[in-house]
Amino acid sequence: MFDVIVIGGGVVGGLVMREATKYQLKVCLLEKEGDVCMGASKANSGIVHAGYDAKPNTLKAKFNVLGNKMMGELCRELGVKYVNNGSLVIAFDEEEKRTLSALKERGQVNGVEGLEIIDKERLHGLEGNLSPDAIAALYAPTAGTVCPYGLTIAAIGNAMDNGGTLYTDYEVVAIKKDTDGYCVQAKDGRETKAKVVVNCAGYHGGKIARMIGDDYPISGRKGEYILVDRACSGYLSHTVFCTPTEKGKGILVTRTVDGNIMFGPTAEEVDEMDASTSVDGLAFVQDRAKRICKNPPLRHAITSFAGVRAYASTRDFIVKESDASQGFFHCIGIESPGLTAAPALAQYVVEKLISRRLPLKKRKDFDGRRAPDYFFKDLSREEQNALIKKDAAYGRVVCRCEGITEGEIIRAIRENPPAKDIDGVKRRTRTGMGRCQGGFCQPVVAQLIAKERGVPIEEVTKKGKGSYLLTGVTK
Ligand SMILES: Cc1cc2nc3c(=O)[nH]c(=O)nc-3n(C[C@H](O)[C@H](O)[C@H](O)COP(=O)(O)OP(=O)(O)OC[C@H]3O[C@@H](n4cnc5c(N)ncnc54)[C@H](O)[C@@H]3O)c2cc1C
């Protein structure tokens, strides 16, 4: 019997799990996929929003601003990449300039510090590759970028290092309430019990809510992206947004924490968790990129991808105890800026919601620190040599594009939460995220997974159940 079950291993569930392990509680996270971070937290813009976008007095506004303030310190503790690069909302005409002033005022009401409207000269001094037609911008110095999957994996890994339990391939299909708490049933028949449950199931959060009699419709909106090679990292440093208009927010351009330039996302209503890209979607992104930037480096694109935002019909985050069932909590409808808000949401869920039903006593032995997942190429020559002397696996580079060693890959397969497939290793170490997109390193990674897990190489998958790479040996 656990004290707390968290359903959903995205950034929100992962940080709720970690926050709960700071207390004398037995905590368990249930994830339907074979690995954590397989939903919206895997595929998004990775922006730590400043907080001028959300309407004042909404949960989105409150948790955005709080989460933004917490992100830097949290990432330092967890060894996750975070850059405080600042953001710019650019205007192309006088009407858009007036919208910038309204955004600035809204941001000030929300508690965002340092917002400034800057003129054309200063704007183009900050970013030399923007369209010459941009005439002003709202500058937000507190905005940043973070590695979203790095943060999610590190949060869950750190919670496990502190005694938390993770069950993967655990698709919750039914929830029963009894006198002691809840019995949460999986599709394969497994049952897990706890005194309280937190629903962090993202796009499927509405489905989980219905299992205990609550009705919170959640719908999906897909966003498609184009990602450019790190060789173009000098193209831009701030995150650049278009001024929102009645027609929508337009696309953004940003530099990820690893130095890739990224254009997107689109916004298309979808009826299912469909994360495929489309010719039309990517053509739209290219067209808009050319309007915002001078010569966008689109011919250096190395991949495209899509993510699905989970929208609540209320258009705000749903963070509350169930109306139908005491001790059951929802943290759902967490659309953008949910990545930014996640640290603050997690703290609120534990300190203000779970505390209503369970006594919270801080643990003295909680250790919130975690070493970074990939690091070798950032070490000095002396440090690299010393590490290779200790473990020769750090002397063998597997991913040449990203400079990732065998030592880092083996660590990702062994540590919490363990990487079990090719994409799991990729999210933890960046192996296969470079220009060749895994063309050269994938076979070696497959061999390492097979060896470390003690399984035949034919059983190694790309991304979970059924995605086999090999069918057998040719005769
Ligand atoms: C295109 C796009 C761009 C975005 N850009 C930004 C941005 O720049 N900045 C920002 O702050 N936010 C951004 N967001 C929002 C942010 O990504 C989300 O708010 C955040 O990732 C939501 O996290 P989550 O944990 O609630 O959901 P998810 O990451 O979707 O996690 C939910 C988890 O629950 C699991 N699950 C579902 N059903 C079950 C079940 N029955 N049993 C067990 N497990 C289950 C899923 O497999 C999944 O792992 C963006 C989102 C998208 C899609």
Q: Which atom of ligand 1 is nearest to the CA of 309?
A: 53
- As a whole number of angstroms, the distance between CA 341 and CA 328 comes to 21
Please tell me the residue having the least CA distance from ligand 1 atom 41.
172
- Determine what percent of the chain is predicted with pLDDT higher than 70: 100
At residue 378, φ and ψ (nearest 5 deg) are -90, -5
Q: Report phi then psi at 111, rounded to 5.
A: 95, 20
Residue type at position 113:
E
pLDDT band at 325 (very low <50, low <70, confident <90, very high): very high
Instruction: Of 30-39, 196-205, 223-232, 271-280, give the lowest mean pLDDT range.
Output: 271-280
Tell me if 340 sits within 8 A of 68, measured CB to CB. yes
Tokens of 334: 């967490």
Ligand 1 center from residue 202 Cα (angstroms): 5
Mean pLDDT estimate for the chain = 96
220 lines ligand 1 (CB under 6 A): no
Q: Is 420 exposed, middle or buried (0-12, 13-18, 19+ CB in 10 A)?
A: buried
Q: Per-residue pLDDT tens for 287-311?
A: 999 999 999 999 999 999 999 999 9
pLDDT at 248 over 80: no
| Cα 446 from Cα 461, distance rounded (Å) | 8
12-21, 64-73, 266-275, 327-336: least confident range? 266-275
Cis peptide before 417 (omega within 30 of 0): yes
- Burial per residue of 435-474, b for 16 or more beta-carbon CB atoms within 10 angstroms, e otherwise: eeebeebbeebbebbbebbeeeeeebbbbbeeeebeeeee
pLDDT attached to residue 245: 77
Q: Which residues contact 120 (CB under 8 A, 6 or more apart)?
A: 134, 135, 136
Probe residue for ligand 1, chosen from 253, 277, 339 as the CB with the greatest number of ligand atoms within 8 Å: 339
297 CB less than 6 Å from ligand 1?
A: no
Residue 341 C-alpha to ligand 1 middle, in angstroms? 12
Atom 2, ligand 1: which residue's CA is nearest?
44
Q: Is the minimum distance from the CB of 307 to ligand 1 under 6 angstroms? A: yes
State residue 374's pLDDT score: 78
Instruction: Please give the share of the chain, as a percent, with pLDDT higher than 90.
Output: 92
Residue 51 Cβ < 6 Å to ligand 1 = no
Is residue 247 scored above 70 in pLDDT? no
Can you say whether the dihedral through the CA atoms of 226, 34, 19, 317 is positive or negative? positive
Atom of ligand 1 nearest to the CA of 335: 19
**How far is ligand 1, taken at its centre, from the CA of residue 386, in Å?**
40
pLDDT tens digits for range 354-383 = 999 999 999 999 999 999 877 899 999 999
CATH of domain 87-141+219-308: 3.30.9.10
Q: Is the CB of 429 under 6 A from ligand 1?
A: no
Contact 156, 36 (CB under 8 A): yes
The response to whether residue 6 sits with its C-beta less than 6 Å from ligand 1 reads no
pLDDT at 249: 76
Indicate the top mutation candidate among 44, 70, 208, 256 to test ligand 1's pocket, ranked by most ligand atoms within 8 A of CB: 44
Give the pLDDT band (50/70/90) at residue 5: very high
Q: How far is the CA of 284 from the centre of ligand 1 (A)?
A: 24
Q: Find out whether 163 and 173 touch, Cβ atoms under 8 Å.
A: no
Pairing of strands 397-399, 404-405: antiparallel
**Fold adopted by 2-41+148-217+314-356:** FAD/NAD(P)-binding domain (3.50.50)
Active site residues: 49
| Confidence label for 233 from pLDDT (cuts 50, 70 and 90) | very high
242 — phi, psi (to 5°)?
-85, 160
Token duo for residue 198: 């937190």
CA of 397 to the centre of ligand 1 (A): 33
Instruction: Answer whether 166 contacts ligand 1 (Cβ < 6 A).
Output: no
- Residues, the chain: 475
Ligand 1 within 6 A of CB of 7: yes
Just give the CATH number of 376-459: 1.10.10
At 471, the pLDDT band (50, 70, 90 cuts) reads confident
Q: What does the domain layout of the chain look like in residue ranges?
A: 2-41+148-217+314-356, 87-141+219-308, 376-459
- Note the pLDDT tens digit of each residue in 142-190: 999 999 999 999 999 999 999 999 999 999 999 999 989 999 999 999 9
Sign of the alpha-carbon dihedral angle for 233, 237, 238, 241 = negative
Q: What's the 37 CA to ligand 1 centre distance in angstroms?
A: 8
User: What confidence score (pLDDT) does residue 317 get?
Assistant: 98
**Model pLDDT for residues 72-83, shown as the tens digit of each residue:** 999 999 999 999
Secondary structure (H, E, C), the chain: CEEEEEECCCHHHHHHHHHHCCECCCEEEECCCCCCCCCHHHCCCCEECCCCCCCCCCHHHHHHHHHHHHHHHHHHHHCCCEECCCEEEEECCHHHHHHHHHHHHHHHHHCCCCCEEEEHHHHHHHCCCECCCCCEEEEECCCEEECHHHHHHHHHHHHHHCCCEEECCCCEEEEEECCCCEEEEECCCCEEEEEEEEECCHHHHHHHHHHCCCCCCEEEEEEEEEEECHHHHHHCCCEEEECCECCECCCEEEECCCCCEEEECCCEEECCCCCCCCHHHHHHHHHHHHHHECCCCHHHEEEEEEEEEEEECCCCCEEEECCCCCCEEEEECCCCCHHHHHHHHHHHHHHHHHHHCCCCCECCCCCCCCCCCCCHHHCCHHHHHHHHHHCHHHHCEEECCCCEEHHHHHHHHHCCCCCCCHHHHHHHHCCCCCCCCCCCCHHHHHHHHHHHHCCCHHHCECCCCCCECCCCCCC
What is the rounded CA–CA span in Å between residue 416 and residue 160? 6
The CA distance from 98 to 445, in Å, is: 53
Q: Give the span between the Cα atoms of 312 and 333, in whole angstroms.
A: 4
pLDDT at 307: 95
Instruction: Determine whether the shortest distance from the Cβ of 90 to ligand 1 is under 6 A.
Output: no
Q: Is 30 in the pocket of ligand 1 (CB under 6 A)?
A: yes
Q: Residues with Cβ < 8 Å from 342, sequence gap 6 or more?
A: 11, 12, 15, 67, 151, 334
Closest-lying ligand 1 atom to the alpha carbon of residue 221: 53
Q: How confident is the model at residue 447 (pLDDT cuts 50, 70, 90)?
A: very high
| Alpha carbon of 322 to ligand 1 centroid (Å) | 20
Residue type, position 445, single letter: V
| pLDDT, mean of residues 120-124 | 98
